Structure 1
């Protein structure tokens, strides 16, 4: 007992658990919830980048992608948790893996090895921007009203992901999106999960999201909608095909074509990661009174190191995950949440058959994403809607994230409108010089890079 107490004190002293209003138990539960919410990456990333998916023989060996995804998540999340001490998990980003696969490898005909080299170089540039605090200065130049909008926009984006995964919202050729088929068993299971999770949240249970996931999975197994695990252990393998390829093929990355690829990776990840960090930190109440992110340089550097490590291991850009908000909503406030998430990714690397029960069932984790979206949208109430110079760019930011299926697009659109309306309002002196630089950069992004 004395040893356990001493260990808890050391954890508290290192992570500042008590001073952040949390407990060790809550941090461990929050890390578990974060893992469950984002564990789908271990199934989806291999299907996007692997040679058994759409890329065919142009793709990376499937087993290697799975192992690389898990290792990259473990490494990147540990760096974020132990160094930056934020409750934010990292893993290969979904948008950038699609760019890697469909635009770079298939569209441009660039070999995946060279594409990994481009990912590595984008990470190096990220790190330079973070260490020199240029990236931090850019973040701090963003006004508080826009940061609130970013948090709410990410909430709507996360909820949309959940609704889509649940089958509650589906594609429609006539109206883009429409209501799903409520006679589908998986949709009904997701609705059940949403109902019980909401009840747990309303009751004020810490870990309500986790309880909802577990109960939904159990009901899914009993009803036959979720498969039983086919086994327990599966030894990780395949990295011999990918490890170090990014370094070996670096000379091939110094071309005009690859410069476009690297710039796109850099730009999109910059604002996706920045928006996610701001949104998650705001949800956790970790922004200071001026709306700035404490230890921003460490957090941004951790994200950059994750990208570099992931590229060397064998996967696309590793970045901060918006699903980290699920752990924050359960009370996660420190790096111990991230360390716990990393621990679960390590376990999952050896226990894929068990992990697949939840990760392969979007209807099980969908309710968690929807509830988190509700919680994040609360920041809408803090936006000064009666002042149009704030209301217009904030609204554009909020709606464009889910409607364009991109955090980066929403952030960029909002930041384009902000300095313009401030000038029209006669408040040009309040616009930080960095915002004008961003205005030009965003225009370039939409004209040359955005899809």
Structure 2
């Protein structure tokens, strides 16, 4: 067995061993396992069955991470993107009005296009066409969007007729009797953010997962003490695990093979596909390069070998995710935890994949975790993505203004797609008017995308 693993993963060549790789895989799993709780709660907002989404999340992450480990021999993992799942649920389904079945079809088409880009030089053409400032802004904007989803889901941010949005009023909740549901949920979510932040500041491994579990535990204590009173009709469910069905694995039937291609000719459908494509491409490539750099896997020119295999694995996994009933996948930034622990090969990935399969038996626990416990995870993920804006030259209006518009448009319009569209339009217009030197920075594809997005606003 050891000799076979040695040959398959080239452990000695990477300066590692089986024990180190397994420990790195376990570390990564502890760090990223929170998606098993967060993803079902987010996608359930679109009308999808949370149990089926939980199973699909574990299965898709297993398949994608195995593909990544075997096709590249890198310690990366593939799982549902916490930015794109929010886009899927809140923009595609709730805002644009598409059913989740149509949303899955869009994810499948995006995966197919991504696959075509991955096996041709078009991937470089598309990726290089977008200026670096907008790539960074897309990452940061998705972070803002994800954080807003967390704040809204926990009830910390509420609608307000006078100012559009506002903070939850605890004083009013005490007066009208809603504190035992909405009020305590907000308090617990805020406590969860503080706890997770403290854990992160102390560099505790698995800080996000631990933050979720501690916040959930506090919720259980509050429910048992009568401080938190479940009200399913109002969206406040019991936080106690339901063992009425034992430790059975939730069925995939409600979401499996439910893709609806009836809107494939709609311009809005195309916009959704393009938004997912750009976000997936930039997020995947950026994470690959960043994580590979941390692992010392880049060559002397700063390039990463087997990039094609990584992108193919990502595209295939997104298509598989759509078939099983899940949002698009990405290379998770949490793989950095395993890399820090010494992970250097695909054996780390395989270890993570196996852990996700085993987690299927723990569905009653993961499905009982409430939104107020997962909200801190979304907020922390958003926080971690905001650092991308530090790479933007805001002293240069031609670079800074489009990046600013792109980033803030995502949370303000509640749409990743709108942020990308507006950012590209502003970039082309501003640089076109700035003189010959700036016009040279605009690629032909940027012109084409700007025209396409302008037409979108005129037609839709």
Q: Does TM, normalized by the shorter one, top 0.5?
A: yes
The verdict on how the C-alpha distance between 1:48 and 1:292 changes in structure 2, with shifts beyond 3 A counting, is farther
In 2, the alpha carbon distance for the partners of 1:217 and 1:416 equals 43
Pairwise CA distance, 1:36: 0.5
8 Å CA contact retained: 1:400, 1:413:
yes
Match 1:435 to one of 440, 446, 457? 446
In 1, the alpha carbon distance for the partners of 2:392 and 2:69 equals 30
Encode CA deviations 1:403-432: one digit per residue, 9 max, x unaligned. 122223222221222232223143222333
Encode CA deviations 1:341-399: one digit per residue, 9 max, x unaligned. 644543344432121132xx122122222223223222322321111111111111111
**TM-score scaled to structure 2, two decimals?**
0.73
Encode CA deviations 1:140-178: one digit per residue, 9 max, x unaligned. 222222222222222222222222233221222332211
Match 1:357 to one of 368, 379, 390? 368
8 Å CA contact retained: 1:155, 1:377:
yes
**Following superposition of structure 1 onto structure 2, how do residues 237-316 of structure 1 map, counting pairs within 5 Å?**
237=251, 239=253, 257-260=263-266, 263-277=270-284, 280-281=287-288, 284=291, 286=293, 296-313=307-324, 315=325
Q: How many residues align?
A: 418
Aligned counterpart, 1:221: 220
Match 1:417 to one of 421, 426, 431? 426
Unpaired segments ≥5 residues, structure 2: 171-178, 229-237
The verdict on how the C-alpha distance between 1:402 and 1:79 changes in structure 2, with shifts beyond 3 A counting, is farther
8 Å CA contact retained: 1:283, 1:376:
no
Local SS of the residue matching 2:239 = coil
Aligned counterpart, 1:96: 88
In 2, the alpha carbon distance for the partners of 1:190 and 1:378 equals 23
In 1, the alpha carbon distance for the partners of 2:137 and 2:288 equals 13
Match 2:242 to one of 226, 230, 245? 230
8 Å CA contact retained: 2:394, 2:400:
yes
Local SS of the residue matching 2:162 = coil
Aligned counterpart, 1:319: 329
Unpaired segments ≥5 residues, structure 1: 53-61
Aligned counterpart, 1:173: 161
Pairwise CA distance, 1:299: 4.0
8 Å CA contact retained: 1:271, 1:408:
no
In 1, the alpha carbon distance for the partners of 2:85 and 2:251 equals 22
Pairwise CA distance, 1:198: 1.6
Aligned counterpart, 2:415: 406
In 2, the alpha carbon distance for the partners of 1:387 and 1:193 equals 38
**TM-score scaled to structure 1, two decimals?**
0.75
8 Å CA contact retained: 2:39, 2:53:
no
Pairwise CA distance, 1:179: 0.5
Aligned counterpart, 1:59: none
Local SS of the residue matching 2:165 = strand
Local SS of the residue matching 2:376 = helix
**Following superposition of structure 1 onto structure 2, how do residues 179-190 of structure 1 map, counting pairs within 5 Å?**
179-182=167-170, 184-190=183-189
Local SS of the residue matching 2:11 = helix
8 Å CA contact retained: 2:409, 2:422:
yes
Aligned counterpart, 2:176: none
Local SS of the residue matching 2:265 = helix
In 2, the alpha carbon distance for the partners of 1:441 and 1:292 equals 32
Pairwise CA distance, 1:193: 1.5
Pairwise CA distance, 1:11: 5.9
The verdict on how the C-alpha distance between 1:416 and 1:364 changes in structure 2, with shifts beyond 3 A counting, is same
The verdict on how the C-alpha distance between 1:329 and 1:427 changes in structure 2, with shifts beyond 3 A counting, is farther
In 1, the alpha carbon distance for the partners of 2:458 and 2:452 equals 10
In 1, the alpha carbon distance for the partners of 2:323 and 2:255 equals 8
